[in-house]
């Protein structure tokens, strides 16, 4: 049975960013996704707002041309022109961005396991045993965690925004369901499940 400090289920933008940041902090991170390739079946619009572009290190070649002017139309076909001196929106080249972020994760010693799904977990004393199923095999992965807090999203907006401190760095992310746990005194560990 392998051990890790954190398992991140789902290699979307939030999962990749968390894995990358935690891997850089020296945590043992396992990143899993049910897809064979992150460039297949992308389910996000890939529209980035200016604040996201300012806050995150998104490579320029993973972004389309900037938009400073948009026209909104109502159902009665009235229009509203919006203009800004700033690049308010950029369309992301998401497949390329996912691949780039995965490469950053691998360079940060994150373990990558494609074709793998979250199948459940069991608490055993001060440990959490996570069951991961892949298309080729089934494995039990033991994760050392001292406590777990579940934040449900039923009845909440579609996404849940959260922030946390990872060794002094402020991290902002969006995810659907998260588990927070304290694995080390100075680190907060994230579980992102889709």
Whole-structure pTM value: 0.65
CA angle 139-144-150, nearest 5°? 90
Fold of 3-43+95-193: FAD/NAD(P)-binding domain (3.50.50)
The per-residue pLDDT of the chain, averaged, comes to: 68
pLDDT at 53 over 70: yes
Q: Report pLDDT digits (tens) over 112-147.
A: 988 887 777 776 766 667 777 776 655 555 443 332
Task: Classify the C-alpha dihedral 84-85-86-87 as positive or negative.
Answer: positive
Whole-number Cα distances in Å, 37 to 1, 11, 115, 131 = 26, 10, 8, 21
Number of helical (H) and strand (E) elements in the chain, helices listed first? 3, 17
Tell me the per-residue pLDDT of 148-186, one tens digit each, with 9 for 90 and over. Answer: 322 222 333 333 333 333 333 434 443 323 333 333 333
pLDDT at 180: 36
Model confidence pLDDT, tens digit, residues 19-33: 888 888 888 888 888
pLDDT of residue 88: 82
* pLDDT, tens only, 91-119: 888 889 999 999 999 999 999 988 887 77
Would you kindly state where each structural domain of the chain is located, as residue ranges? 3-43+95-193
Distance CA 166, CA 184 (A): 10
Is residue 189 over pLDDT 70? no
């Amino acid at each position: 049975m392998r051990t890790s400090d954190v398992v991140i289920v789902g290699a979307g933008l939030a999962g990749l960013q968390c894995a990358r940041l935690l891997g850089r902090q020296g945590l043992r991170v396992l990143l899993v996704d049910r897809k064979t390739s992150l460039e297949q079946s992308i389910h996000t619009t890939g529209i980035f707002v200016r604040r996201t572009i300012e806050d995150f290190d998104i490579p320029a070649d993973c972004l389309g041309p900037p938009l400073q002017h948009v026209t909104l139309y109502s159902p009665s076909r009235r229009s509203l022109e919006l203009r800004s001196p700033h690049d308010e929106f950029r369309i992301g080249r998401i497949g390329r961005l996912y691949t780039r972020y995965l490469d950053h994760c691998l360079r940060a010693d994150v373990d990558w396991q494609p074709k793998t799904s979250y199948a459940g977990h069991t608490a055993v004393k001060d440990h959490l045993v996570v069951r991961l199923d892949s298309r080729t095999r089934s494995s039990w992965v033991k994760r050392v965690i001292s406590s777990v807090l579940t934040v449900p999203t039923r009845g909440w907006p579609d996404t849940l925004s959260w922030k946390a401190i990872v060794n002094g760095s402020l991290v902002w992310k969006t995810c659907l369901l998260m588990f927070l746990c304290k694995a080390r005194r100075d680190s907060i560990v994230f579980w992102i499940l889709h």
